[in-house]
Amino acid sequence: MAASSAERQAMSRALALALRGPRGVNPQVGAILLDADGTVLAEGWHRGAGTAHAEVDALSKLDAGAARGATAIVTLEPCNHTGRTGPCAQALIDADVARVVYALDDPGALSGGGAERLRGAGVEVEAGVETEAAQALLESWFTVQRLGRPEITVKWAQSLDGRAAADDGSSQWITGPASRADVHRRRASADAIIVGTGTAIADDPALTARDGDTLFPTQPVPVVIGAREVPADAALRRHPREPLFYSGPDLHDIVADLRDRGMHSLFIEGGPTLASAFLAAGLADRVLAYVAPVLLGGSRVALNDIGVASITEARRLVVDEWVPLGDDLLAVARLADAPQAQTKGS
């Protein structure tokens, strides 16, 4: 039985409800309960890790037995495992709902399989309703499930001869205004922007995402990695978001902590030591290399040791796009040998 117009309308409403929940380790999910006539009985959404899932949140707003024979509209397949909360599929079964309509399958090895559990209990299930809208909502969360960590972009700017700065350390500006504007747009789409203490102290960056002098509505969380103390009057301490500081040195632990804080995308801004460390650790999904038509010479290379000892160990890139930016050229690339992490449940 295909989804009715009332069910599709309810799914659109459930997707809007899902946005009320925070982005985090768990997905943003919305749920609506309809009676046999398509009238809304209750609405719910997930408010973060450890709280009731969307289906249970909606059920909690009804008296016992009031959901009997109802249809549950859910943006993601009801979960099938016990974590901090019980399985939503079982909660719907216990509430005696007659039908469940959802948009996307749960990709988790542990949390998936709710639809099969529901069908086994005699509940009618319809999947794949408003999938494109649901996929757009949960795209970054699905990336985290696939990788087991946030998606990581490593960015640097360099001269044509591969230098990130002149020998005296000056680097503003190697690239032109079009490249810098492009960086700010990309910063705005990231959850966190990460630099090392060397860059934080030497360049005193604000680490904001700006359109000229105007801040973008969304700002990445500034993150600084390194053992050196960042001055109390540093520009990043005036960032609209509270900065995070890590002394290191284990990048995997830092990335895991950022994931647990609900961050789905990380933007590695530099400098060369930090960018190289992320590449050497295998923590890079995308590379953004801004190349300017200028020669600097000297020893301040854009990258240093990334764990390559010979040409046979070279880290090969697949360039997805070459983007002209004024006189500069941007290479948007991914690592050809990037490992595919196992999918993890929510």
- Residues annotated as part of the active site: 55
Task: Collect all residues with Cβ–Cβ distance below 8 Å to 111 and sequence separation of at least 6.
Answer: 79, 80, 81, 83, 345, 346
Q: For residues 255 and 224, is the Cβ–Cβ distance under 8 A?
A: no
**Sign of the torsion formed by the C-alpha atoms of 105, 109, 111 and 115:** positive
Q: In the structure encoding, which two tokens stand for residue 283, read together?
A: 């923590």
Q: Coil, strand, or helix at residue 317? A: strand
**CA geometry: angle at 101 spanning 98 and 107, to 5°?**
120
Rounded Cα distance between 299 and 294, Å, is 15
DSSP 138: H
Rounded Cα distance between 313 and 251, Å, is 22
